[in-house]
Structure 1
Amino acid sequence: MRTLEDPSSLVLASASPRRRDLLSQLGMRFTVAAADIDESPFSAEVADAYVLRLARTKAQTVAGRFPGAWVLAADTTVALGSQLLGKPSGPEEARDMLTRLSGRKHSVYTGVAVAGRAEVSAVVHTSVTFRTLSAGEIDWYVSTGEPLDKAGAYGMQGKGSFLVSAIEGSPTNVIGLPLGETLELLTRAGVPLPWRAA
């Protein structure tokens, strides 16, 4: 059985450097072990159900490899109305997504799940409004390459911050891991937090 002081007692089931950095900012010690699952949405699956299903599946998949550990997983998607905007397949799709988001409000959903020693989960929603973007701004942003590995084709924590005119809700949710809500889940699951260490 792992001890609580062992960093492998908490496992982050994600290869995302953004999630790793956010969790590290809290002083958490953890091991990274990405889950390799099919992330295709089901037919007519809505955004909140989609991200919750993926987060739970990721957490449970990795928990099977780390008996006795807590496993934290998350999944984020962008929704424009009922349409899910995942990671673009290339520059053209990124350009199309950004054009559609220009001047409009959209939703960012993140499912967060803990599995292993305890199982808890939640979905966090944030509303984001984009500035009205020129074709030149979109082309420049796509040329940086930043949109290509991000849901909705933008990263608010990077160069894409200039796209956003307003946000309602958790900023870290848009980056990929809503810290306040994640801490609540970790607390409910019994994960030892740095400021509560004996």
Structure 2
Amino acid sequence: MRLILASTSPRRRELLAQLDIEFEVAAVAVDERPLAAELASDHVCRLALAKARAGAANYGPHVQVLGADTVVVLKGEIFGKPADRDHAAAMLGRLSGHTHQVLTAVARVQDASHAVRLSASEVTFRPLSPTEIAAYCDTGEPLDKAGAYAIQGRAAAFIRHLEGSYSGVMGLPLFETAELLAGATSKRC
């Protein structure tokens, strides 16, 4: 069966390729703004499903489409992708020395059915100096990442502790993704 990844994220492509399955990539456009009073877990599940559905709308029946979304959550506040360098530095300053949650939802849409899985991880940053934050922001790495950091990049040196899914923090939880592709249909999000 044909599989479409509704994401142009290089990280998601690399992760899905680790499952040794053939897939195609499709760009989708979805409004990623949180709804008023929306919980972070509901937000990522809604967006993952919206992305999968947007991808599925471009293909005929009997095609599986995966969509995913990732956010960082600190004290109930959703940190998406930073708007610019200053926003990235502010996010990193707030994450410095604290434990935050990374939520990644992955959704599969096929014909009229869908399923959604949620991966929740806890990440603890060591305290960061303003100089470290500025140097990291100068690399450009944080600009297109939820929470303004890449666990697989230079920010790995900031992480004191990870509890949960490394691939989920990267943007596509492989356990949950494999479960969906194996045919799991119940919604667990």
**Smaller-chain TM-score range?**
over 0.9
Please report how far the alpha carbon of residue 189 of structure 1 lies from its aligned counterpart in structure 2 after TM superposition. Answer: 4.9
> What is aligned with 2:67?
73
Please report how far the alpha carbon of residue 34 of structure 1 lies from its aligned counterpart in structure 2 after TM superposition. Answer: 1.7
> What is aligned with 2:132?
137
1:171 corresponds, among 166, 169, 176, to 166
> What is aligned with 2:23?
30
Taking the aligned partners of 2:184 and 2:175, their CA distance within structure 1 comes to: 14
1:97 corresponds, among 91, 96, 107, to 91
Count the aligned residue pairs: 183
1:60 corresponds, among 49, 53, 63, to 53
Taking the aligned partners of 1:189 and 1:164, their CA distance within structure 2 comes to: 33
One-letter code aligned to 1:75: D
Tell me the percent identity: 48
> What is aligned with 1:123?
118
Query: Runs ≥4 in structure 1, deviation > 3 angstroms?
Result: none
Q: Which runs of 5+ in 2 are unaligned?
A: none
One-letter code aligned to 1:100: R
Taking the aligned partners of 1:138 and 1:185, their CA distance within structure 2 comes to: 37
> What is aligned with 1:194?
none
Report the 3-state secondary structure (helix = DSSP H, G, I; strand = E; otherwise coil) of the residue aligned with 1:97: helix
Taking the aligned partners of 1:182 and 1:168, their CA distance within structure 2 comes to: 19
> What is aligned with 2:34?
41
Please report how far the alpha carbon of residue 91 of structure 1 lies from its aligned counterpart in structure 2 after TM superposition. Answer: 0.8
**Is 1:106 the equivalent of 2:107?**
no
Q: Which runs of 5+ in 1 are unaligned?
A: 191-198
One-letter code aligned to 2:83: S
Report the RMSD for the aligned CA atoms in angstroms.
Answer: 1.1
Please report how far the alpha carbon of residue 159 of structure 1 lies from its aligned counterpart in structure 2 after TM superposition. Answer: 1.1
- TM-score w.r.t. length of structure 1: 0.90
